[in-house]
């Protein structure tokens, strides 16, 4: 019965939040237009099909709520750069002073899709993992809050602050808080925190030195948003630092809790046996962890490399210009993962065994 009530409450809350985000026009000061009618004129280019759209829509908020306006838009079948507007799409627009004409389309309203996915995510995590799910959500929210704070700090001081130094400090904060929240106060957590920090410093220093010395051919200029960062070299190091951070924590806590379990079952267990079983455990995680990093990070090169190929660029150039930074990030993350294993193995044994004495 208790579970049933919880499920019903969860269900009702989910529905309410989705209904809310479908009607949240009043939250926005920018005028929103909901499309009710589209007339399309098809044009065949020798390479592609594109459409000139005559769009009719109703304003949903602000002073001119309820009135109908017309907009024109050009869209292509490929949709590389343009916005594909359909019936019921909601768009942000800039209105003329008297509210009868649309000066320009600012963008598409996408918030509801994010909220739908967020609701699915929260519902699923609570259903599947119950209390552990709440802990995961808590640790995730704290990570998000720290990220936002770090961005605000950087944003307000971007001309003077050293971004790399800032994010090294933030990374240590990330490690301590997320491991502490999800695992509670214990020797296990302490050893995971210490080994994560050591692993992060060792592996990052290694990558840093290698790239500093041998990285003259790196195409940092292809990195997105590079133009706004004064200190673009350090900006690249920050993405290397952060990319493998979660994986380092993952391995540290896995190894330290496995060793903790062994020591708790047999307090007089020998160090050589601990090392041996620690190595066995790490062999199991090493492979799939590397694959997680690869698929998660390297997949992001797909659209850009594809666009380059479609434009007739040869494969090696396309991969070099638009895929090499991601590959470097993935490789350095994998190096961190592999380095973390022996580091956290010996650190954990030291802390768990020493503190016991």
Partner 1 sequence: MITLLSIILFFLLLIVGKSRGVKTFVTFYLSIILIITYIILMNLGFNAIILALIVCILASCISLFMLNGYNLKTLSSFISIMLVLVLVFIITYTIGKLSNIQGFSSDSVETIGGFSYLINYDMTKVIIGMYLICVIGTIIDTSISVSTSMNEVLENNPKIKEKELYKSGMNIGGDILSTTINTLFFAIISSFIGFFMWHKNDTLSYIINHKVFAQTIIELLLSFIASILIIPITSYISSKVLYKKKLIKDE
Residue list 124-163, contact with partner 1 (CB under 8 A): 124-125, 128-130, 132-133, 135-136, 139-140, 143, 147, 151, 154-155, 158
Q: Please, which of residues 46-65 interact with partner 1 by CB under 8 A?
A: 47-50
CB of 241 to partner 1, least distance (A): 8
Candidate residues 189, 195, 282, 344; the one interacting with partner 1 per rule CB under 8 A: 282
CB of 162 to partner 1, least distance (A): 14
Q: Residue 110 and residue 120: Cα distance in Å, rounded? A: 16
Residue 98: closest CA among 146, 63, 72, 59: 63
Q: What tokens appear for 245 in the block? A: 């951070």
Contact track, partner 1, 231-270, x by CB under 8 A: ----x--xxxxxxxxxx-xx--xx----------------
Contact track, partner 1, 215-234, x by CB under 8 A: x-xx---xxxxxxxx-----
Q: Residue 33 and residue 235: Cα distance in Å, rounded? A: 38
**Half-sphere CA count of 289, side-chain side, radius 13 A:** 27
CB of 338 to partner 1, least distance (A): 4
Outline where the chain has alpha helix (H): 2-22, 111-156, 163-183, 187-214, 232-243, 245-265, 271-293, 302-310, 315-356
Identity of the residue, 98 or 228, whose beta carbon is nearer to partner 1 in the bound complex: 228
CB of 206 to partner 1, least distance (A): 8
Q: Please, which of residues 70-99 interact with partner 1 by CB under 8 A?
A: 76-85, 89, 92
CB of 244 to partner 1, least distance (A): 8
Contact 168, 241 (CB under 8 A): yes
Q: Residue 41 and residue 36: Cα distance in Å, rounded? A: 17
DSSP state for residue 298 in the 8-state scheme: I
Using CB under 8 A as the binding rule, whether residue 17 contacts partner 1 is answered as no
């Amino acid at each position: 019965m208790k579970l049933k009530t919880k499920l019903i409450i969860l269900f009702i809350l989910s529905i309410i939040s989705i209904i809310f985000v479908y009607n949240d026009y009043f939250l926005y000061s920018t005028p929103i237009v909901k499309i009710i009618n589209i007339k399309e004129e098809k044009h065949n280019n020798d390479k592609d099909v594109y459409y000139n759209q005559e769009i009719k829509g109703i304003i949903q908020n602000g002073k001119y709520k309820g009135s109908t306006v017309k907009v024109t838009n050009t869209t292509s079948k490929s949709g590389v750069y343009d916005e594909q507007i359909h019936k019921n799409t909601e768009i942000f627009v800039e209105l003329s002073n008297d509210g009868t004409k649309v000066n320009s389309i600012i963008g598409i309203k996408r918030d509801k899709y994010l909220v739908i996915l967020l609701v699915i995510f929260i519902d699923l995590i609570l259903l599947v993992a119950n209390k552990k799910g709440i802990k995961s959500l808590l640790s995730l929210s704290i990570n998000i809050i720290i990220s936002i704070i770090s961005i605000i700090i950087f944003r307000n001081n971007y001309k003077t602050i050293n971004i790399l130094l800032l994010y090294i400090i933030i990374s240590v904060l990330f490690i301590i808080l997320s491991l502490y929240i999800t695992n509670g106060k214990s020797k296990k957590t302490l050893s995971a925190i210490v080994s994560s920090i050591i692993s992060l410093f060792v592996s990052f220093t290694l990558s840093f030195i290698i790239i500093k010395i041998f990285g003259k051919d790196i195409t940092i200029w292809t990195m997105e948003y590079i133009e706004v960062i004064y200190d673009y070299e350090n900006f690249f190091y920050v993405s290397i630092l952060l990319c493998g951070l979660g994986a380092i924590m993952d391995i540290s806590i896995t190894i330290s809790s496995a060793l903790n379990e062994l020591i708790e079952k047999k307090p007089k267990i020998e160090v050589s046996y601990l090392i041996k079983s620690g190595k066995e455990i790490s062999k199991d995680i090493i492979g799939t962890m590397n694959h997680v990093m690869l698929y998660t990070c390297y997949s992001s090169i797909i659209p850009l490399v594809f666009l380059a190929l479609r434009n007739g660029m040869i494969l090696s150039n396309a991969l070099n210009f638009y895929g090499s930074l991601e590959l470097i990030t993935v490789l350095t993350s994998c190096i961190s993962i592999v380095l973390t294993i022996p580091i956290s193995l010996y650190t954990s044994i030291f802390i768990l065994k020493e503190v016991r004495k």
